């Protein structure tokens, strides 16, 4: 496996930062948004991609550094572009609030004069064309109050108060006060001491692998059964899989969750602006947890640390950022021969590559599963705490169901976009849509029982913008037209979507323009090096139209070329009382299953369990 794809080392981050500083083009105020490996195809030496924030205005520089020579080989200015929220800037925004007289007066009007219990959550501001936000890096701050640090902040929203802050300059732009509502009383705690006594009838489950694990991990290169891949953590995308092969045959060049959006459906003032792009506005890798054995992951675990860069360009190591382990998940296949009574059964085991990101109130677990039958899968686990509101006179219950006394949570969606750079048995692939329909009534279908799949090749980018349709068992098949299996049909993998919605915000809304990728479940593009992220590289405060809608306007051809499949999936979340005070995991995801990639079940050689009784 090529070392070109290994994540940047701390030394390389140092080289990249020194090289951009040596240009003399960075001022005192300059800092760094992300420093990542340039994994563009076809490079023959390692390069770093450095996103520089030159000063307090809305502007970015994208520099490319050749690491072997420590030289800057590209310097692209992006005027008006806004980076993902910086941690230091977010902290500055919070400090600015504490010192602001108008804000303190709004709190005092609500009887809050002791600010030690104040919790301020800076949110990305979206883009609603506000003149005061033009050219600035802005956060919208919403506030909560805790009597004790152990309280759940989201239990007690300070309703009606919204503060716009220039994060870069630490300057409060506007304190919006929509009126006073009572603070809900319940502190919404969820620690063990708050819910004693604990159940005592759960006996231990121990997972042991006395002979060790069945995978090997050398650096970031992972091998298990016939699978091989390289795993890394991108500061924005989180887990990235590179060069996924099975038995030496290529399947994916690169796979990641390249963008996601959480749009809220409550049209009332104070909540109608809410949406968050948790990849491009925050970063699933930057927000990744250090995972804990026995808690986040159970069994024989190997961890991967991640090396990221902070705002000053210093390398920081995030320990245990990615968890790798095997899980038994029931049966893989079975049959009882009723004539002879003979039983054959195989256990299903999967390799799990996972990471968990905490983005404000929500926690997202990303689990890539590799199976013994040559299929793979992404499951996202959604947990954490709902974004809440206190009931006010403006309250409209249909849009924000009650979840606790005096407390409600707006309906919302979580829509993730997976970017799948496909390479089924080689780089040149095509995508077909399969639909299963009843046959028309005619002489060939006398009993009207007939139904059959039909496959339509998606020949162009416009034709390849599709939505799911479970009633027709719709799926998408990625085919290599030049390679056939033993049965003479082209090798393929099928993308099986889950029961996923698309974006519910209406056409013409700010969010529909900004998150256009979420209006379709499927997009396909020809591979283009700088087309990385579904809403564009810099979605924060972007007015919309970037990324997939812009690229696919060219309506490029998709026949026998290097295709990238973009799959949007997720859930519409109608809050329940059971989601409070912390949500049990809800899941969504998709599968990639071989469809003629093999000549028959590739898992016949999995040995029978040796401990059947
Ligand atoms: Ni939710």
Is the bond preceding 50 in cis, omega lying within 30 degrees of 0? no
% of the chain at pLDDT higher than 70: 100
- Global pTM reads 0.97
Distance CA 178, CA 270 (A): 7
Distance CA 232, CA 351 (A): 16
Categorize the per-residue pLDDT at 613 as very low, low, confident or very high, splitting at 50, 70 and 90: low
Q: Output the CA 289–ligand 1 centroid distance in Å.
A: 19
Whole-Å CA distances, 14 to 88, 109, 429: 20, 50, 39
pLDDT tens digits for 188-242?
999 999 999 999 999 999 999 999 999 999 999 999 999 999 999 999 999 999 9
Distance CA 609, CA 50 (A): 50
Specify the pLDDT at position 1. Answer: 53
Q: Output the CA 359–ligand 1 centroid distance in Å.
A: 12
The answer to whether the Cα torsion of 587, 592, 595, 599 is positive or negative is negative
Instruction: Indicate the length of the chain as a whole number.
Output: 613
Q: Residue 5 CB: number of other CB atoms within 10 A?
A: 19
Categorize the per-residue pLDDT at 293 as very low, low, confident or very high, splitting at 50, 70 and 90: confident
Q: Output the CA 404–ligand 1 centroid distance in Å.
A: 16
Distance CA 225, CA 216 (A): 10
Q: Output the CA 534–ligand 1 centroid distance in Å.
A: 21
Residue 422 token pair: 């496909």
Is there a contact between 417 and 257 (Cβ–Cβ < 8 Å)? yes
Q: Output the CA 581–ligand 1 centroid distance in Å.
A: 13
Structural domains for the chain? 3-79 (3.10.450.40), 87-195 (3.10.450.40), 215-594 (2.70.98.20)
Specify the pLDDT at position 281. Answer: 97
Q: Which of 278, 363, 421, 537 is catalytic?
A: 278
Q: Output the CA 260–ligand 1 centroid distance in Å.
A: 13
Q: Output the CA 511–ligand 1 centroid distance in Å.
A: 17
Q: Output the CA 278–ligand 1 centroid distance in Å.
A: 13
Distance CA 262, CA 253 (A): 28
Q: Output the CA 263–ligand 1 centroid distance in Å.
A: 10
Specify the pLDDT at position 557. Answer: 98
Name the residue with higher pLDDT: 445 or 320.
Answer: 320
Instruction: Collect all residues with Cβ–Cβ distance below 8 Å to 451 and sequence separation of at least 6.
Output: 436, 437, 438, 439
Q: Output the CA 412–ligand 1 centroid distance in Å.
A: 6
Residue with tokens 């999995």: 606
Specify the pLDDT at position 446. Answer: 85
**Does position 611 have pLDDT exceeding 80, yes or no?**
no
Q: Which of 543, 564, 569, 561 is nearest to 552 (CA)?
A: 564
C-alpha 401: how far from chain center: 26
Specify the pLDDT at position 294. Answer: 80
Q: Output the CA 414–ligand 1 centroid distance in Å.
A: 6
Q: Which of 144, 145, 264, 362 is catalytic?
A: 362
* Strand partners for 69: none
Q: Output the CA 342–ligand 1 centroid distance in Å.
A: 48
Specify the pLDDT at position 2. Answer: 61
Mapping DSSP onto H, E and C, the string for 67-124 reads CCCCEEEEEEEEECCCCCCCHHHHHHHHHHHHCCHHHHHHHHCCCCCCHHHEEEEEEE
Q: Output the CA 108–ligand 1 centroid distance in Å.
A: 32
Specify the pLDDT at position 302. Answer: 97
Q: Output the CA 209–ligand 1 centroid distance in Å.
A: 36
Mean local confidence (pLDDT), 158-183: 96
Mean local confidence (pLDDT), 573-599: 98
Is there a contact between 99 and 107 (Cβ–Cβ < 8 Å)? no
pLDDT tens digits for 260-292?
999 999 999 999 999 999 999 999 999 999 998
pLDDT tens digits for 47-91?
999 999 999 999 999 999 999 999 999 999 999 999 999 999 999
Burial of 143 (0-12, 13-18, 19+ CB in 10 A): buried
Specify the pLDDT at position 447. Answer: 87
* Strand partners for 366: 355, 380
Distance CA 610, CA 575 (A): 46
pLDDT tens digits for 320-345?
999 999 999 999 999 999 999 999 99
Residue with tokens 């969010």: 511
362 is catalytic: yes
Distance CA 326, CA 214 (A): 8
Q: Output the CA 386–ligand 1 centroid distance in Å.
A: 6
Residue with tokens 């919208």: 140
Q: Output the CA 575–ligand 1 centroid distance in Å.
A: 7
C-alpha 111: how far from chain center: 39
Distance CA 253, CA 563 (A): 10
Mapping DSSP onto H, E and C, the string for 320-372 reads EEEEEEEEEEEEEEEEECCCCCCEEEEEEEEEEEEEEEEECCEEEEEEEEEEC
% of the chain at pLDDT higher than 90: 95
Categorize the per-residue pLDDT at 37 as very low, low, confident or very high, splitting at 50, 70 and 90: very high
pLDDT tens digits for 522-569?
999 999 999 999 999 999 999 999 999 999 999 999 999 999 999 999
């Amino acid at each position: 496996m090529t070392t070109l794809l290994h994540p940047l080392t701390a030394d390389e981050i140092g080289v990249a930062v020194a090289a951009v500083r040596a240009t003399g083009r960075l001022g005192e105020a300059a800092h760094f948004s992300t420093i990542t490996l340039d994994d563009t195809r076809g490079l023959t030496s390692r390069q770093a991609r450095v996103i520089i924030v030159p000063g307090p205005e809305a502007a970015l520089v994208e520099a490319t550094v050749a690491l072997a020579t420590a030289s800057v080989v590209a310097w692209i200015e992006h005027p008006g572009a806004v980076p993902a929220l910086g941690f230091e800037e977010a902290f500055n925004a919070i400090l600015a609030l504490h010192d602001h007289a108008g804000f303190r007066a709004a709190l005092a009007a609500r009887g809050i004069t002791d600010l030690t219990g104040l919790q301020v959550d800076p949110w990305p501001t979206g883009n609603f064309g506000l003149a005061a936000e033009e050219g600035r890096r802005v956060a919208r701050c919403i506030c909560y109050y805790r009597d004790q640090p152990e309280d759940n902040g989201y239990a007690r929203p300070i309703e009606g108060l919204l503060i716009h802050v220039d994060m870069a300059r630490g300057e409060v732009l506007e304190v919006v006060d929509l009126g006073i509502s009572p603070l809900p009383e319940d502190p919404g705690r969820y620690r063990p001491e708050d819910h004693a006594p604990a159940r005592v009838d759960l006996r231990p489950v121990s997972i042991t692998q006395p002979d060790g694990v069945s995978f090997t991990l050398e650096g970031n290169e992972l091998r298990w059964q016939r699978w091989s891949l390289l795993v890394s953590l991108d500061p924005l995308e989180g887990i990235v899989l590179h060069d996924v092969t099975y038995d030496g045959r290529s399947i994916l060049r690169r796979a990641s969750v390249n963008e996601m959006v959480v749009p809220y459906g409550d049209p009332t003032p104070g909540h109608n602006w809410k949406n968050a792009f948790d990849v491009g506005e925050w970063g699933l890798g930057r927000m990744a947890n250090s995972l804990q054995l026995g808690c986040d992951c159970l069994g024989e675990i190997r961890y991967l640390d991640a090396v990221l860069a902070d705002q000053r360009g210093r390398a920081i190591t995030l320990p245990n950022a990615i968890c790798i382990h095997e899980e038994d998940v029931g049966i893989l296949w079975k049959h009882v021969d009723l004539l002879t009574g003979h039983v054959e059964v195989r256990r299903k085991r999967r390799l799990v590559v996972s990471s968990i990101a905490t983005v404000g109130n929500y926690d997202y677990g990303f689990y890539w599963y590799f199976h013994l039958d040559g299929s793979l899968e992404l499951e996202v686990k959604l947990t954490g705490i709902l974004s809440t509101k206190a009931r006010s006179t403006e309250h409209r219950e249909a849009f924000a169901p009650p979840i606790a006394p005096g407390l409600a949570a707006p309906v919302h969606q979580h829509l993730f976009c997976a970017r799948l750079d496909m390479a089924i048995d080689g780089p040149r692939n095509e995508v077909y849509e399969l639909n299963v329909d009843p046959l028309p009534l005619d002489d060939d279908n006398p009993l009207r029982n007939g139904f059959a799949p039909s496959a339509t090749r998606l020949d162009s980018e416009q034709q390849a913008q599709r939505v799911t349709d479970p009633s027709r068992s719709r799926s998408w098949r990625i085919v290599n037209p030049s390679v056939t299996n033993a049965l003479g049909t082209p090798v393929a993998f099928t993308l099986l979507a889950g029961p996923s919605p698309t974006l519910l915000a209406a056409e013409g809304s700010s969010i529909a323009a900004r998150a256009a990728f979420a209006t379709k479940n499927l997009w396909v593009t020809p591979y283009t090096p700088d087309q990385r992220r579904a809403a564009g590289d810099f979605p924060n405060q972007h007015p919309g139209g970037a990324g997939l809608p812009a690229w696919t306007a060219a309506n490029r051809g998709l026949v026998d070329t290097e295709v990238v499949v973009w799959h949007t999936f997720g859930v519409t979340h109608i809050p329940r009382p059971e989601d409070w005070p912390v949500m049990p995991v809800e899941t969504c995801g998709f599968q990639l299953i071989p469809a003629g990639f093999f000549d028959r079940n590739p898992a016949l050689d999995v040995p029978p369990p040796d401990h059947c009784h």
